[in-house]
Amino acid sequence: MSSSPVSIDPAQIELIKENAVLAISSAKSLDELKEIKISHVGDRSPIARANQSLGQVPIEERAATGKLIGTARANINQAFDDKERELTLARDTKALVEERVDVTLPTQRTHRGALHPLTSLRFEIEDLFVGLGYQVAEGPELESGWLNFDALNIPEDHPARTMQDTFFIEPIDSGLVLRTHTSPVQIRTMLENEPPIYVICPGRTYRSDELDATHTPVFNQVEGLVVDKEITMADLKGTLDLFAARIFGPEVTTRIRPSFFPFTEPSAEVDFFYNGRWIEWGGCGMVNPKVLEACGIDTSVYTGFAFGMGLERTLMVRNGITDMHDIVEGDLRFSRQFGMGSR
Amino acid sequence: MKLPISWLSEFITFPKSFDPAKNIEKLVAAFVKVGFEVEDVINPAAGIQGPLKVGTVLEIEELSGHKKPIRYVALDLGEKSKRYVICGATNFQVGNQVVVALPGAVLPGNFAISARETYGRLSNGMICSARELGLGEDHSGIIVLEDKFKNGSDALKAIGAHDPIIDIAVNPDRGYAMSVRGAARELAMSLGFKFRDIESKALLNKLAKLKKSGKVTQVEILDKSGADLIFLRSLSGLDPSAKTPAWMARRLTQAGMRPISLAVDVTNYVMLELGQPLHAFDAEKITGKLRVQRANSYKSITTLDNQVRKLTKEDLLIADEKRPLALAGTMGGLDSEVGSQTSKIALEAAHFNPVAVARNSRRHILSSEASRRFERGVDPLLAEIASARAALLLIEHGGANYHGTSSKGALPKANFTAISPAEISKLIGTEYSSVEVAKALAAVGCKVSKSGKKWRVTSPSWRSDLNHLSDFAEEVARFYGYERIPSRVPTPKIPKSGKTGLTPLQQRRRYLSLALANKGFTEVHNYPFVNKSQMDLFGFTGERAKTFKIANPISDQNPLLRTHLSIGLLETAARNLSRGAKSVALFESGLVFRDIKKLENATGISTAKRPTANQIKKIYESVPFQSLHIGGVVAGEIELSGWWGKGRIASWEDAVSITSELLLEITSDFSIKNVELAPWHPGRCAEFIVAGKPVAHAGEIHPRICAALGLPDRTIFFALLVDAIPVQSAIQAKPVITMPAAIQDVSFYVPAEVSAAEITSVLREGAGSLLESVELFDRFQREGDPQISLAFTLTFRAPDRTLTSDEVSKLRELAASSVVKRFKATLRS
C-alpha cells in the first residue's frame, strides 16, 4: 500500500517542539512529568508521529525534514532531562528537609562508664616509667612485717616503726601487717632480681588514720627504685624533675631537702613548685646500704635511689580535689567527671 | 620542739646586723635547708605595733555612777609627769606594775590607741589585758607583772612577747635536736654563724667547789644492758617554797610545758636546754642504794600520772633496795616524787639503752618527753654535765646544798669510720673538694684524721647515727645544701631477666578495667574492711568464709578483711541509689584475702645479710596468696529509660554476657554451668570454667541480700578471678574459608534441667570437624511441661569444596542422634 508523498512544514515541526517544551517546563511534579512524557515524548506523541510519517515525505525533502525532526526531538529530550533533574533534586531536597531531627535530644541509652581517676593517674605514671625502660612491680597488701619493716632498716624498737600507724593482723606474733608503704615490693624485687633494677611499685597501702578531708586509712602510693652501678643523688633529682614535669606540667620544678627515712641515706623530702607555692610531694633518697645488704646486693659495686609519693595527694593537688571523701566513697558522680582519663 | 628565739640566741653568736627576732623567715629557711621541717612560727607580738611600756600604778581613783566599776589610774612610766588612764579592770592595786599601750600603739585586730575623753576624764593610753594583746583568752583582768622592771621599759620584753618561737619537727635520727642546744647547733651551721656551746668544764668545777659534807645516796647498775652510765647528785636544804624564776617558767611555757615546782621545773628546763632527761627523787624516800635494774619480781608501780602499771620482768626500772621508784627513762613513780615538803633531793641523770626505754614506752603505751629523747639517742656526755647544771640551778634558786655525787658506768667508746672523701662526691653526684668535705664534717662535730685517701672520722658523742659513708655523705650534702645537687636522668638498662614493659597480668588488668568502663561501668575503690554480720548476710561458706582480723582496727565496726568484692560493691551501689542515682553500674579491681593455708612465721630473721634460700622461702610463705579480682554490679536498669521509652532492668543474662565478653578477650575457651553459690540467687548463678577451674561467677544477687541492702530485685553481680586464668600464648590463626556454607536446623524436646551449653557441646562433638558454628535460635517451655523445646542452627563448611546436601544431612543426623542418646531428648520434626 502506498500513498502520495506529503510534505511536512518546518513550521509545524517547530510548533510541535515548542508545544512539547512548554508542556515539559510547566510540569510541577515528577508524576506530572511522567504524564507529559507520554503525550510529548512517547511513541504516540506528535514528534514521534512526525518521525513515523517521514517515509511519506518526498525523497528530496526527506533528509532536510529528517534533520529538523531529529533536532526538535533532541531539544524535547533535553528539556525533559533538565526538568526531570530539577524536579528530582527538588523532591530529594524537600525530603531531607522533612527528615530533619533535633540532634540535641538525649541519646545515651546505656550507662556511661569511667575509670577511677586514681587508676588513670596510675596508668599515666606507669606509662611514663615503662616508656623510660622501667618495669612495674607489685606485691601483696597483707604483708610480712619482715618485708615491710625489718628489711627496710626499721627494727622492732626503732622510733621510726611507730612513725607508721600500722594495722596489725591477729595474732600479732604472726608478723602480718597491712603494708604501710609499697616499699616491701622493693625488697621483694631486690630478693628476686639482680641489678640493674629499674622499677616502680604502685599500689594500695594502709595506715590507721581516720578518714577526714585529707587523710584516709587506705591510700595509694607509687614508689620508684633504681639499683645500678654509679647511681647518684643527681640521678634521683633528675628523675623526680622529669616525673613532676610530666604529671604537673613542663614548667613545674622540684626541690629536695634533707629528711629522714630508715631505708634511705641520704634522705630527702621532695616538694614541687605549683601555683606559686612549694607543695610536699613525697620522700626519697639513696637506698640505705643496710637495705641493699639485707637483700644481698654488693654495696661496693651498686648504689641506688628510691622515691615514693601518694597518688591521692598528687591527684588532689593536680585536679583540685578538696575532700578525700570524694575519692574514697565511690559516688559515681565523682569518677564520671574524669571519664576514661584521657582528658 | 618549740624553740624560743631568745633561748636559741644563747647558743649562737649572731652578727650585730642580724636580729634573729626580725629575721624569722631566714631562720625558718635555714632549718628547712638542713632537714628540719618547721611546723609553726609563734610570734605573739606579730600584731602589736608602737609603744607598749611598763608602768607602776601610783594612784587609783574609783569613778562611781557607772554600770560597772571604772578606775582612773595614775601611772609612773618614767616620764616627767604622771600619766592618767581610764581602766575597767579591778585586779590590781597601787604599786603593781602593768602593761601600758600609749597613744599611737596598734593592738591586734587593728585596735589603734589614742588619747581620748571618756567617763569625763582624759585617758592617755590603755592598761592591757592578755587578750587585748592577742596573747591568750584571759580577759578577767589586766596583766600584772610579777617581776620588777624599769618603768618606761619595753613591756613586750617584760611579758616575753618579744620572743618569737619556732616549732620544728625532729626526725628520729636526730635526737640531739630535741634540745635548744642541739637545734641551735644545726641552725648556726646552716646560717654559717658561730655556735656557742655551754662551758661544761667551768660548770663542773663550779659545782665541785660548792660541795659541802653530807649524805650522798649511792647508785648502782644491776643490769648493764639497761644503762651504761648513771650520775646521782645529792642535795639537801632545798627551800620547798622557793619559786621557779619567772624567766624559767616563761621558757617552759613557751616550750609547751607546765611549770610545776622548782625541782621539777629545773629538770625539765635542763632537759629542754641540753636534751638530757633528768629525774629528781625525794632522797628521803630512797631506801639504801638507787639501782638500775629490770623489774624481775616487782609486780607494779604507780607512775606520776597516777596510773597503776603492771610490770613485766623485762621492764627497766630505777628502784631502791625495797621497791620500784621509776620506769627508767620513761616516767617517775608517784611514791618518790618531789613533794611540797621535799628538801633533800637525789638528782638522777643516766644514759639508758634506747631499746630498753623504747620497750618500756611501748609496753606501757606511755610516750613521755624523756622516753622520746632516750629512744632517739641521748649524748652520753650529757649525763654528767646536765645533772651538774641542774644541781647548780637548784643551789642558786632553791638555796640547796650540794653533798656530792655517786656515779657508775663509763662513757661508751667513740665511734669512728674510715671513709674516702671522693666516694661522697660519687654518691651525691656532684664534686665536693676534700677541703669542703673536711669543713662540713668539722661543722657537724666530727673529728677527722687523714692518712692518704682514707680518712678516719670520729663522730661526735651526740651523733650515734653516723657510722657509714652514706651517713657522712648526707652531712656533707646538707651542709652545702641539696640545691647544689644537679639534675640528671639515668638511662635504664634492660634487666637480666630480659623482661620489659607491663607483665601479661598487668596488661590484662588494664584491659579488663578499660573494657568495663567502656561497657558503662564506673570504677570505685572500696576499703577492703568488712564485718562478721556482713559476711553472715552474704552467706559465705568455705574459702570465702575464712578471713583475717585486724588487731587494731580504726573502729570495731569493720575489723575483717574482705574475701570477695561483693560486699563493698553492693554497699557502694546502695549508697549511690540512696543519694539519688536511679540505677548504677559499678566495678572494682582489687585483692581479696582468704585465710586458707597454714602460714610460716618469718619474724626475727636477721637483716645483717641476705637471708638464706630457705629463709626467703619462709618469708614468702608467711604471707597468704591474695588473689586479684575484678567485680561488677548493675542495680536497676542496664538500658536506661528516657524520652524514647522504657528502659530494661538488668538480669542474669547481662551478667553472663558481660562476663563472657570479658573472658573471651583473655582466653579462647571456657565453659559455663549453673551453680548454687552465695551471694547469688541459687538458680541464677553461672560458673565459668577454664582448664577445669572456676575463674568467674555471674548472675543475680540473692533476693534476701538485695532486700537487706535496699537494692532493687535482680541486681546483678559478677566476679572474675583475674590471676586464675592462664596467660595464653600467641593465638594461631585459622585460615578464612571462602567456600559456601550449608545450613541445617535441628530441634529437640529435652528435660528442662539439661543446659543449652551441654547440648551445644554434644552437637559439636556429634557433627564433627566440618561444623562451623551452632546457634540456639529458639527456646520455649509450656507451662507445667517438664520438657523444653530447643532449636539450633548448624552451619557447616568445608575448606576445599561445596558440601552436598546429602553430606550435610548425614552430619545433621549424627549431631542430632548424639543429643537424643545422651539426654533422653526427642527430635522434633
pLDDT in tens, B291-308: 999 999 999 999 999 999
- Distance set, CA B183 to CA A261, B168, B444, B446 (Å): 19, 9, 12, 17
B693 C-beta neighbours (distance < 10 Å), count: 11
Chain A residues in contact with B528 by the CB 8 A cut-off are 141, 218
CA distance B536 to chain A (A): 20
Mean pLDDT (whole number) for B305-324: 95
Mutate to test the interface with B, among A109, A210, A215, A261 (most CBs of B within 10 A): A109
pLDDT: which is higher, B582 or B731: B582
Average pLDDT of every residue of chain B: 93
CB contact under 8 A, A173 and B603: yes
CB contact under 8 A, B172 and A226: no
Which of residues 475 through 504 in chain B touch A, CB cutoff 8 A? 477-478, 482-483, 485-497, 499-503
Q: Give the pLDDT score at A8.
A: 80
* CA pair distance A121, A130, nearest whole angstrom: 14
Q: Is A163 on the interface with B (CB under 8 A)?
A: yes
Percent of chain B having pLDDT more than 70? 100
Determine the number of helices (DSSP H) and then strands (DSSP E) in chain B.
21, 43
Comparing alpha-carbon positions, the chain B residue that sits nearest to A336 is B522
Chain A residues in contact with B34 by the CB 8 A cut-off are 258
pLDDT: which is higher, B735 or A343: B735
Mean pLDDT (whole number) for B333-356: 93
A167, A193, A266 ranked by CB distance to B550: nearest: A167
Q: Give the pLDDT score at A98.
A: 92
**Which parts of B364-468 fold into alpha helices (H)?**
369-376, 382-398, 421-428, 434-444
pLDDT in tens, B132-154: 887 776 677 888 988 788 999 98
Chain B residues in contact with A296 by the CB 8 A cut-off are 609-610
CB contact under 8 A, A167 and B355: no
Chain A residues in contact with B362 by the CB 8 A cut-off are 157, 162
Mutate to test the interface with A, among B610, B625, B627, B633 (most CBs of A within 10 A): B610
B584, B626, B644 ranked by CB distance to A332: nearest: B584
A144, A162, A238 ranked by CB distance to B602: nearest: A144
The number of C-alpha atoms within 13 Å of B816 and in the hemisphere containing its C-beta is 21
For residue B420, which of B438, B396, B402, B399 has the smallest C-alpha distance? B438
Chain-centre distance for alpha carbon B109: 37
Q: Is B422 on the interface with A (CB under 8 A)?
A: no
Which residue bears the cell 524514647? B644
pLDDT in tens, B642-662: 999 999 999 999 999 999 999
- Please, which residues bridge with residue B233 across strands? B347, B405
**A-B C-beta contacts closer than 8 Å:** 309
Mean pLDDT (whole number) for B55-61: 93
For residue B457, which of B416, B420, B496 has the smallest C-alpha distance? B416
B495, B502, B644 ranked by CB distance to A196: nearest: B495
CB contact under 8 A, B496 and A105: no
Mutate to test the interface with A, among B489, B548, B601 (most CBs of A within 10 A): B489
Q: Give the pLDDT score at A160.
A: 66
- Distance set, CA B742 to CA B404, B802, B816 (Å): 114, 8, 16
Q: Give the pLDDT score at A164.
A: 64
pLDDT in tens, B601-630: 988 899 999 999 999 999 999 999 999 999
- In DSSP notation, A213-274 reads SS--SEEEEEEEEEEETT--HHHHHHHHHHHHHHHH-TT-EEEEEEEEETTEEEEEEEEEEE
A132, A143, A294 ranked by CB distance to B492: nearest: A132
Q: Is A290 on the interface with B (CB under 8 A)?
A: yes
Q: Is B513 on the interface with A (CB under 8 A)?
A: yes
Comparing alpha-carbon positions, the chain A residue that sits nearest to B617 is A191
Q: Is B525 on the interface with A (CB under 8 A)?
A: yes
Q: What is the pLDDT along chain A (343 residues), one digit of tens a residue?
A: 445 677 788 888 888 889 989 999 999 999 999 999 888 888 888 888 888 888 888 888 888 888 988 898 899 999 999 999 999 999 999 999 999 999 999 999 999 999 999 999 999 999 999 999 999 999 999 999 999 999 999 988 776 676 568 999 999 888 999 999 999 999 999 999 999 999 999 999 999 989 999 999 999 999 999 999 999 999 999 999 999 999 999 999 999 999 999 999 999 999 999 989 999 999 999 999 999 999 999 999 999 999 999 999 999 999 999 999 999 999 999 999 999 886 5
Determine the number of helices (DSSP H) and then strands (DSSP E) in chain A.
13, 10
CB contact under 8 A, A238 and B173: no
Q: Is B514 on the interface with A (CB under 8 A)?
A: yes
CB contact under 8 A, A238 and B489: yes
* CA pair distance B46, B71, nearest whole angstrom: 30
pLDDT in tens, B235-256: 999 999 999 998 899 899 889 9
B490, B549, B576 ranked by CB distance to A226: nearest: B490
The number of C-alpha atoms within 13 Å of B56 and in the hemisphere containing its C-beta is 11
Q: Give the pLDDT score at B731.
A: 84
Chain A residues in contact with B607 by the CB 8 A cut-off are 150-151, 153, 155, 290, 293-294
Highest mean pLDDT among B56-70, B563-577, B782-796: B563-577
Q: How confident is the model at residue B815 (pLDDT cuts 50, 70, 90)?
A: very high
Q: B376 is written with which cell numbers?
A: 632517739
pLDDT: which is higher, A292 or B131: A292
Q: Are strands B771-780 and B787-796 parallel, antiparallel or unpaired?
A: antiparallel
Comparing alpha-carbon positions, the chain B residue that sits nearest to A194 is B496
The number of C-alpha atoms within 13 Å of B818 and in the hemisphere containing its C-beta is 16
Chain A residues in contact with B428 by the CB 8 A cut-off are 232-234, 266
CB contact under 8 A, A340 and B640: no
Which of residues 254 through 283 in chain A touch B, CB cutoff 8 A? 255-260, 262, 265-269
CB contact under 8 A, A260 and B576: no
Q: Is A118 on the interface with B (CB under 8 A)?
A: yes
* CA pair distance A283, B317, nearest whole angstrom: 38
Q: What is the DSSP letter of B366?
A: -
Q: Is A142 on the interface with B (CB under 8 A)?
A: yes
- Whether the link from the prior residue into A196 is cis, omega within 30° of 0, is yes
Q: Give the pLDDT score at A60.
A: 86
Q: B286 is written with which cell numbers?
A: 630512797
- Distance set, CA B697 to CA A63, B514, B736 (Å): 91, 20, 33
pLDDT in tens, B704-718: 999 999 999 999 999
A114, A198, A290 ranked by CB distance to B522: nearest: A114
pLDDT: which is higher, B179 or B728: B179
Chain B residues in contact with A108 by the CB 8 A cut-off are 640
Looking at this predicted complex, what is its ipTM?
0.86
Chain B residues in contact with A204 by the CB 8 A cut-off are 590-591
Q: Is A204 on the interface with B (CB under 8 A)?
A: yes
- In DSSP notation, A159-181 reads HHHHHS-PEEBSSGGG-EEE-SS
CB contact under 8 A, A170 and B551: yes
